[in-house]
Chain A
Amino acid sequence: MEIFIQQIVSGIATGAIYACMALAIVMIYQAIHNLNFAQGEMAMFSTFIAWQLIAWGTPYWIAFALTLAISFIGGVVIERLVFKPIENAPILSYVVVFIALFAIFNSLAGFIWNFEIKPFPTPFGSGALFGGLMSPHQAGMIVVTVVVLALLYFFFRFTRIGLAMRAAAVNPESARLVGIRVSWMTALGWGMASAIGAVAGMMIAPVVFLEPNMMVSILLYGFAGAVLGGLTSPVGAVVGGLAVGVIENLAGTYIPVVGPELKLPIALLVIVAVLVVRPSGLMGRKIVQRV
């Protein structure tokens, strides 16, 4: 029983990583109804920017804030520069452009900062919490995720621009008819997703070390978490991300064939199974509609 609880707690700790990433994924899904396969690489790139700022002697939290700002602007610029011109292209072409962005960021990061792994600082200090089950960084990461979630909730629920973004996502044509600049809302969504991805990257980097390929599998877990929670719900994304961490850990411990090698496939398998049973995810919004 004790092992079981330990596994759950450490599953939640890893799950926090996925939850962070899942949140960024849901954010962009709201804006463009698509999974951004380059999201992980964008987050990785943002983290390298933070690393560079810190290496130049910038204090951690200032570097953190600067990175958020740069990532936000970067996200908006990518939307305007790369996606605006092809807004009418079929969805499959979109996915190809995500793949292209993936290649570009991965290659650029390796070119600028090389492929050696780099340690990334944590602002939460070292030590052990809960009898060694969780590091302060993991606890801090969970807190940060919850704070981001709360901020998002506040933003979408209580600000006009948040309302406008939701409206643009639900019914773009009608949104234009009330004067909302839908295409800018999309750009804003990109910016926000990119900034949230940066938060995720900076939280994840101290755990997995910084290098250009650090986000590849994390992105997949993030997808899994987002889909598990239902792609339309930020709360669902966080819960889904945590759940994926726990599932992965338990499967690794209790299913004999599943060594560390097979953790990822098993997690994905579970997710596919969940989807087959419940396609809208655990907390996905079912649209009630009467005509």
Chain B
Amino acid sequence: MKPLLSVRGLEASYGDLKVLRGLDFSIAEGSVTALLGANGAGKTTTLRALCGMIARSGEIEFDGRSIGRARTEDIVRLGIAHVPEGRGTFFNLTVEENLELGAMSRPAGRELTTDIQRIYGYFPRLEERRRQQAGTLSGGEQQMLAIGRALMLKPRLMLLDEPSFGLAPLIVEEVFRILAHVRETMKVSMLLVEQNANFALALADHAYLLETGEIAIAGPAEEIRNNESIRNAYLGY
């Protein structure tokens, strides 16, 4: 089967500094792919490059369409939702407005309300705070809001940038439980960037290990998780 997203020779740099040195990878429809690696390996940059948030070169094909030169707004419209580093909260808008914004690139209609209700189904805590300014939410709640906002797009592919970042272990568990549930119920594919390899590999089907802008190791998540030498060398647990 043709993959949902396939990437060949992806490169990107910040000024003179080349951060991605020709990545090749692909994501199968309905699968969860983890992108692991140390700080500065280029994980976040990969996501930003996919979304056209930085200048990049190489081929990116999504659902048979080339998006290597497309602008961010247009890429989003194709059904790629990015849960960015720092969660991208619209601080002084309400929680519900934040969710509405997620559906901004789809035609509005009556289903908007049902969609928001579904998100509240996943994240009951957001419903309790729906009229509150989003900036007053805790870190974990903002992360849930960011995921909720991404889901409002009804995306085919979700790019998640360190959903565990800065959260207490219990909250991390909750977030990943919800991600697993979302995956089951909404059939959405995910590209998951994580430092917390343990959680990521438990959720993922496939994993890539990034090292200084290049893919060092690729394979089924299960295999990588069970390979002690990789774990020791790259994942540090």
| Touch A–B, Cβ below 8 Å | yes
- B91 CB–A CB distance under 8 Å: yes
**Complex interface residues of chain A between 163 and 202 (CB less than 8 A to chain B):** 163-164, 166-167, 170-171, 173-182
**Complex interface residues of chain B between 66 and 95 (CB less than 8 A to chain A):** 72-73, 76-77, 81-82, 84, 88-93
Tier of interface size on chain B: 20 to 34
Shortest Cβ distance from A247 into chain B, in angstroms?
29
- A84 CB–B CB distance under 8 Å: no
A287-B91 contact given A174-B84, A176-B73, A180-B73, CB 8 Å threshold:
yes
- Say yes or no: B76 contacts A177, CB within 8 Å: yes
- B108 CB–A CB distance under 8 Å: yes
- Say yes or no: A288 contacts B73, CB within 8 Å: no
**Complex interface residues of chain A between 224 and 275 (CB less than 8 A to chain B):** none
- B153 CB–A CB distance under 8 Å: yes
A179-B133 contact given A170-B91, A170-B93, A290-B139, CB 8 Å threshold:
no
**Complex interface residues of chain B between 88 and 108 (CB less than 8 A to chain A):** 88-93, 97, 100-102, 104-105, 108
Neighbour of B77 across the interface among A163, A166, A179, CB < 8 A: A179
CB-CB under 8 A from B53, the residues of chain A are: 173, 176-177
A178-B104 contact given A167-B93, A291-B139, CB 8 Å threshold:
yes
- Say yes or no: A167 contacts B105, CB within 8 Å: no
- Give the residue name and chain of the B residue nearest to A174 (CB): B88
CB-CB under 8 A from B76, the residues of chain A are: 176-179
**Complex interface residues of chain B between 131 and 156 (CB less than 8 A to chain A):** 133, 135-139, 142, 149, 153
- Rounded to whole angstroms, the CA-CA distance of A175 and B84 in the bound complex is 11
CB-CB under 8 A from B93, the residues of chain A are: 163, 166-167, 170
A290-B73 contact given A174-B88, A178-B149, CB 8 Å threshold:
no
Neighbour of B101 across the interface among A178, A181, A287, A288, CB < 8 A: A178
- Say yes or no: B91 contacts A164, CB within 8 Å: no
- Say yes or no: B72 contacts A176, CB within 8 Å: yes
- A289 CB–B CB distance under 8 Å: yes
- Say yes or no: A290 contacts B90, CB within 8 Å: no
Neighbour of A170 across the interface among B92, B100, B108, B137, CB < 8 A: B92
- A278 CB–B CB distance under 8 Å: no
- B51 CB–A CB distance under 8 Å: yes
In this complex, the member of A167, A171, A174, A179 whose beta carbon has the largest number of chain B beta carbons within 10 angstroms is A179
- Say yes or no: A177 contacts B88, CB within 8 Å: yes
Shortest Cβ distance from B47 into chain A, in angstroms?
10
- Say yes or no: A178 contacts B102, CB within 8 Å: yes
CB-CB under 8 A from B51, the residues of chain A are: 177
- Say yes or no: A178 contacts B153, CB within 8 Å: yes
Shortest Cβ distance from B81 into chain A, in angstroms?
8
**Complex interface residues of chain B between 109 and 162 (CB less than 8 A to chain A):** 133, 135-139, 142, 149, 153
- Say yes or no: A174 contacts B92, CB within 8 Å: no
CB-CB under 8 A from B101, the residues of chain A are: 163-164, 167, 175, 178, 180
- Say yes or no: B89 contacts A171, CB within 8 Å: yes
- Rounded to whole angstroms, the CA-CA distance of A288 and B81 in the bound complex is 26
- Rounded to whole angstroms, the CA-CA distance of A289 and B86 in the bound complex is 13
- Say yes or no: A171 contacts B108, CB within 8 Å: no
Shortest Cβ distance from B76 into chain A, in angstroms?
4
- Say yes or no: B104 contacts A180, CB within 8 Å: yes
- Say yes or no: B91 contacts A179, CB within 8 Å: no
- Say yes or no: A177 contacts B91, CB within 8 Å: no
- Give the residue name and chain of the B residue nearest to A289 (CB): B135
- Say yes or no: B90 contacts A174, CB within 8 Å: yes
A290-B105 contact given A173-B84, A177-B84, A180-B73, CB 8 Å threshold:
no
- Rounded to whole angstroms, the CA-CA distance of A177 and B82 in the bound complex is 6
CB-CB under 8 A from B88, the residues of chain A are: 171, 173-174, 177
- Rounded to whole angstroms, the CA-CA distance of A171 and B88 in the bound complex is 7
- Give the residue name and chain of the A residue nearest to B108 (CB): A160
- Say yes or no: B139 contacts A163, CB within 8 Å: no
- Give the residue name and chain of the B residue nearest to A183 (CB): B73
Closest 3 CB pairs of A and B: A179-B105, A174-B88, A179-B76
Question: Could you list 11 examples of A-B contacts with CB < 8 Å?
Answer: A163-B104, A166-B90, A170-B93, A174-B90, A176-B72, A178-B101, A178-B102, A178-B153, A180-B73, A289-B135, A291-B139
| Further pairs besides A174-B84, A180-B101: 18, Cβ < 8 Å | A166-B93, A167-B93, A170-B93, A174-B88, A175-B90, A176-B53, A176-B72, A176-B73, A176-B76, A177-B53, A177-B81, A178-B102, A179-B76, A179-B104, A288-B91, A288-B92, A289-B135, A290-B139
